[in-house]
Amino acid sequence: MKAVVLGAAGGIGQPLSLLLKANPAVTELALYDIVNAPGVAVDLSHIATPAKVEGYLPPDDGLEKALTGANVIVIPAGIPRKPGINAGIVRDLAKAIATTAPKAFVLVISNPVNSTVPIVVEVFKKKGVFDPKRIFGVTTLDVVRASTFVSEILGDRSLSLSVSVPVVGGHSGVTIVPLLSQSSHPLPSSLDASTIDGLINRIQFGGDEVVKAKDGAGSATLSMAYAGAEFAGKVIRAIKGEKGIIAPTFVNLASDKTGGDALKKELGTELEYFSAPVELGINGVAKINGLGKINSAEKALVQAALPELAINIEKGVAFVEASKL
């Protein structure tokens, strides 16, 4: 089981690589960055877990060497909150993956996820290796935040390990739609509307809370690494044959067989992407689940997410269309 981290020396990349090194199911871990990756790799290589760790820089085909034989590729490369720059970084990394590891599972963390996932897909299409079952936008941090904030409202943080709330839509602001009515631990019916609205807003704009607190020193890194490792861990378990693993993730809806068409119908949209609870299997997306029973306020949130999602997706598609590959 070879896992690869592209952008491994960054704020997310380092703790994410640590958590992947700590996962005993990973036998090979390749770290790639434009700086510092060999140092991070040697540091992690002293940890007594099975994974053999190698670090690579761009010279001497470092990227290609990192990608060769990859099963799971996680991409936290890029710059936080600098619109535009990540598009080119993700496009170029996707190009290398399409050539060197076209069958790998690609987990995109780099923002804006609503646009960077379409960028990877469009590159793969142009290179003739696109499979909608293997490309995932990582929205797990929204799910992690929902568990944490709901457990706080329930007055018992120890519940956060078991509270599960599906979060659907996309990964930015109003495109983040928590389905609180489906929380494994229902909110008290006595909760007033403004508390619920505040909770939804906190989940949607949790990223801003971290950016503000870090005061110029970047965005969420440690919680993102935790969330990324959790999602990658689920994908790895699914590849190894475990059944019934379901996680919300931002996927392409092109595949009729996996339920993409049914979800589009349910949403009343032609959009080609949405984050929905996805059942993972040995080939990637086994089934995109529908949203299930949601209340009228949640229906309104889903509808409010669609126009912004459409703009974000189109941006990603147009960027690749205008690119020379």
Ligand X SMILES: O=C([O-])CC(=O)C(=O)O
Ligand Y SMILES: NC(=O)C1=CN([C@@H]2O[C@H](COP(=O)(O)OP(=O)(O)OC[C@H]3O[C@@H](n4cnc5c(N)ncnc54)[C@H](O)[C@@H]3O)[C@@H](O)[C@H]2O)C=CC1
62 interface partner picked from ligand Y, ligand X, none, CB below 5 to 8 A per type: none
DSSP characters for 2-46? EEEEETTTSTTHHHHHHHHHT-TT--EEEEE-SSSHHHHHHHHHT
Q: Does the annotation list 201 as a binding residue?
A: no
Question: Where does this chain touch ligand X (CB under 6 A) — which range of 43-51, 152-160, 204-212, 298-306?
Answer: 204-212
Q: Looking at 13, 207, 233, 260, which residue binds ligand X (CB under 6 A)?
A: 207
With left for phi above 0 and alpha for psi between -120 and 50, is residue 131 left, alpha or beta?
A: beta
Minimum CB distance to ligand X smaller for 78 or for 281: 78
- C-beta separation of 257 from 18 below 8 A: no
Could you identify the residue written with the tokens 């990658």? 232
113-152 binders of ligand X (CB under 6 A): 141
Q: What span, in angstroms and rounded, lies between the C-alpha atoms of 228 and 20?
A: 9
Distance CA 193, CA 181 (A): 13
How many whole angstroms separate alpha carbon 65 and alpha carbon 94?
Answer: 15
Q: Taking CB within 5 to 8 Å according to partner kind, which of ligand X, ligand Y, none is near residue 110?
A: ligand Y
Residue 13 site contact among ligand Y, ligand X, none (CB < 5 to 8 Å, cut-off depends on kind): ligand Y
Q: Which tokens belong to 24?
A: 């005993």
Dist. CA 67–CA 252, nearest whole Å: 23
- The correct pick among 14, 111, 116, 312 for binding ligand X (CB under 6 A) is 111
In the bound complex, what is the minimum distance in angstroms from residue 120's beta carbon to ligand Y? 13
- The token duo for 3 is 């896992």
The yes or no reply on residue 248 touching ligand X (CB under 6 A) is no
302 binds, among ligand Y, ligand X, none (CB under 5 to 8 A by kind): none
CB 43 within 8 A of CB 70: no
Nearer to ligand X, 67 or 107 (CB): 107
Dihedral angle over CA of 282, 283, 284, 289, nearest 10: -90
Q: 288 touches which of ligand X, ligand Y, none (CB within 5 to 8 A by kind)?
A: none
47 belongs to an annotated ligand binding site: no
- For residue 77, say whether it is annotated as part of any ligand binding site: no
Task: Work out the end-to-end distance of the chain between its first and last CA atoms, rounded to an integer number of angstroms.
Answer: 30
Q: Which of 220, 225, 235, 288 binds ligand X (CB under 6 A)?
A: 220
Respond yes or no: is residue 185 known to be catalytic. Answer: no
Q: Does 219 bind ligand X (CB under 6 A)?
A: yes
For residue 109, the minimal CB distance to ligand Y (Å) is 4
* 177 part of the interface to ligand X, by CB under 6 A: no
**Considering beta carbons, is residue 282 or 325 the nearer one to ligand Y?**
325
CB of 189 to ligand X, least distance (A): 30
The dihedral built from the CA positions of residue 83, 88, 93 and 98, taken in this order, carries a sign that is: positive
Residue 206 contacts residue 58 (beta carbons within 8 Å): no
| Nearest residue to 5 via CA among 84, 97, 102, 132 | 97
Task: Name the binder of 76 from ligand X, ligand Y, none, CB < 5-8 A by kind.
Answer: ligand Y
**Which residues would be at the binding site for ligand Y (CB under 6 A)?**
6-7, 9-13, 32-35, 76-80, 86, 89, 109-111, 113, 138, 141, 171, 218-221, 224
**Residue number, 62 or 248, with CB nearest to ligand X:** 248
- What residue ranges bind ligand X (CB under 6 A)? 80-81, 111, 141, 206-207, 210-211, 219-220
Annotated binding residues for NAD(+), written as ranges, equal 7-13, 33, 86, 109-111, 224
Catalytic residues: 171
